[in-house]
């Protein structure tokens, strides 16, 4: 197995572990949903700024598609944090677990993907 695949598998495993703890950490924080979203956004922005300074991209063409993807990512992260504060973690994760199937269905319907 080459090092890129091994590193990718390790990163996915760590992300899975950390993502599974998100509900616990959000529930431990006693803040209203909008305050939680604000602070998550501030720290995520600082982390992305640090990464962009430490690893600058070469020939980065962001464009309208990148801007749209960024806006959608921000909306989904805000909705995820708000949903964790407004309902049970189990309900949020059941809905979240359906996303791969929804993505596969949309890929089949819109892009003609086959398995």
CA-wise closest residue to 23 among 115, 89, 93: 89
| Domain spans of the chain, in order of start | 3-111
**Residues 84, 27 contacting (CB under 8 angstroms):** yes
**What pLDDT does 49 receive?**
84
Tens of pLDDT, residue by residue over 50-108, are 888 888 777 777 778 888 888 888 898 889 888 988 889 889 889 888 988 999 999 99
In angstroms, rounded to a whole number, what is the distance separating the alpha carbons of residues 23 and 81? 9
pLDDT the model gives residue 66: 80
Burial class (CB in 10 A: 0-12, 13-18, 19+), 78: middle
pLDDT digits (tens, 9 = 90+) for 14-62: 998 988 888 888 888 888 988 988 988 899 889 888 888 888 777 777 7
- Residue 82 contacts residue 37 (beta carbons within 8 Å): yes
């Amino acid at each position: 197995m080459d090092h890129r695949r091994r590193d990718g598998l390790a990163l996915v495993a760590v992300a899975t572990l950390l993502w599974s703890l998100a509900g616990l950490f959000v529930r431990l924080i006693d803040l209203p949903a909008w305050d939680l979203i604000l602070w998550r956004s501030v720290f995520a922005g600082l982390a992305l700024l640090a990464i962009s300074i430490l690893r600058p991209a070469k020939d980065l063409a962001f464009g309208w598609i990148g801007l749209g993807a960024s806006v959608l990512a921000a909306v989904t992260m805000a909705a995820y944090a708000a949903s964790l504060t407004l309902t049970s973690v189990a309900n949020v994760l059941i809905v979240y677990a359906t996303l791969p199937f929804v993505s596969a269905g949309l890929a089949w319907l819109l892009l003609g993907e086959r398995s």
